[in-house]
Amino acid sequence: MYYLNLIFKYILIFSIWMTPNFTLADPWQIDQDENFITLKKNGEIQHGNNIHFNFDKNNGCRFNVFFFIYTMQDNPSPLNEIFEDQQIHLNFGGQEILGSVAFTSPFGLGEIAGIYVAQNIPLSKEFIKMNEDMLEDNLMKMTIQKVYAKYFDIPEEQWNFENIDNKLHEAHTLCAIN
């Protein structure tokens, strides 16, 4: 019985250890509803930290870029009170940018924040080139900067942007057709 428990324990540890490797590099997903076509990708560090390219069918297929980030950090007050000014400093692909905290909400044992990094953008060759220039080994890396990082237990994320050009065009074409 002792050896059976020991074997089970090692199988469980091995399964937990290997799980992140199986969830990395998920394919791009395209979802649609009445008003939007959404191209999204799971995070590589925290699987639920999705990045979204949300194409608006009612606005010439212009799109917003935002991501969700989860924290279980024991913050002194809810994140929505900490981020009253709604802005957060980010390093996105090596570029310093100012993001906008759209919302925060209790989630599980922590909180989730929705952060916009671009709004009302037309799809263009310049936008795609800028994104491709920011990639490192096909990864778009993001780090929450300055004082804001202390509110997140894991203040960084990265997304595999392999094939981003084709996927943006595919989502945009689907939006234009609808």
pLDDT 10s digits, 94-139: 999 999 998 888 888 889 999 999 999 999 999 999 999 999 999 9
Domain ranges for the chain, please list them: 2-177
Quote the CA–CA distance of 4 and 2 in Å, as a whole number: 5
The residue with greater pLDDT, 130 or 8, is: 130
Mean pLDDT, rounded, for 159-169: 96
Q: CB 91: neighbour CB atoms within 10 A?
A: 15
Residue 26 has what pLDDT?
74
Helices (H) and strands (E) in the chain, counts: 4, 9
Residue 125 has what pLDDT?
95
The model's pLDDT over 43-84, given as tens digits with 9 standing for 90+, comes to: 999 988 999 999 999 999 999 999 999 988 787 778 888 887
DSSP state of 146: G
* Whether 157 contacts 142, CB under 8 Å: yes
Burial class (CB in 10 A: 0-12, 13-18, 19+), 46: middle
Q: List the beta bridge partners of residue 160.
A: 139
Residue 1 has what pLDDT?
56
Quote the CA–CA distance of 26 and 163 in Å, as a whole number: 12
Structure tokens at 163: 């094939």
Quote the CA–CA distance of 67 and 49 in Å, as a whole number: 7
Mean pLDDT, rounded, for 29-44: 96
Is residue 170 scored above 70 in pLDDT?
yes
Structure tokens at 176: 């234009």
* Whether 135 contacts 109, CB under 8 Å: no
Annotate 38-58 with DSSP letters as a single string: EEEE--SSSTT--EEEEEETT
Residue 13 has what pLDDT?
44
Residue 15 has what pLDDT?
44
Quote the CA–CA distance of 156 and 91 in Å, as a whole number: 9
Give percent helix, percent strand, percent coil of the chain, each to the nearest 5.
Answer: 30, 40, 30
The model's pLDDT over 10-30, given as tens digits with 9 standing for 90+, comes to: 443 444 444 444 444 579 999
Residue 110 has what pLDDT?
87
Mean pLDDT, rounded, for 24-45: 91
Residue 74 has what pLDDT?
80
Structure tokens at 86: 């709604």
* Whether 25 contacts 42, CB under 8 Å: no
